[in-house]
Amino acid sequence: MYKKATLSLAVVLTLAAGLAAQAGAANSNNAPATTQPTATSSASPATKPHDDTFIIGTDDVLAVNVWKEPDISRSVPVRSDGMISLPLAGELQASGQTPHQLELAIAGKLKSYISEPEVTVIVQEIRSQKFNILGQVARPGSYPLTNASTVLDAIALAGGFRDFAKQKNIYILRQNPDGGQSRLPFNYKEVIKGKDAAQNIKLQPRDTIVIP
């Protein structure tokens, strides 16, 4: 009697263990698979797009970089004839081109010597875009234009006013796209007092500031 009870209990325990194992396997199959992190390639950062509104001019200084070609990569000034010279590529027209257009031209010249040349052109120094300041300032003349140049910057760059400068009657002559010319007033006395700061405009290439 005791042996039969023991045997029955053993069978029950065996069946229970089997059912538990099946249930565990079912749960394992239904559980969402663990996502393993995928290896990512260390891709190079995206290249910043060119500002195709900028046109290279004479006297600008360009940094030309040809990937894995240090003997060709260098800084070159744009000559007065608008040309630059590079090893293997020879003479190229730079003035009147955008940096991207010049990249394509250089790459085209190098294809005879280098398989799939990768060329980058960066304008290191902008010397072609200038403004003029004339009249009653210490150093009248032509000055390089930066992206942040304003009328006040121009006056400071030219050494300030002479003794008899008419600081209320300054004006800027600006070339219009249609070939005409606009005259923009600038009252220095008002601007430095903060009364009409909008007069302190950002200069454009070929602007001429006149200090009577």
* CA pair distance 143, 150, nearest whole angstrom: 12
Domain coordinates in residue numbering, the chain:
61-125, 130-211
Which of 163, 123, 148 shows the shortest CA–CA distance to 204?
148
pLDDT attached to residue 51: 58
Residues lower than pLDDT 70 in the chain? 1-51
Residue type at position 144: P
39: left (phi over 0), alpha (psi -120 to 50) or beta: beta
Contact predicate 93/78, CB 8 Å: no
- CATH class of domain segment(s) 130-211: alpha beta
> How much is the pLDDT for 127?
87
State whether CATH 3.30.1950.10 applies to domain 61-125: yes
Evaluate whether 123 touches 56 at the Cβ level (below 8 Å). Answer: yes
Does this chain's domain 61-125 share its CATH topology with 130-211? no
21, 75, 116 from 208: Cα distances, Å: 90, 31, 46
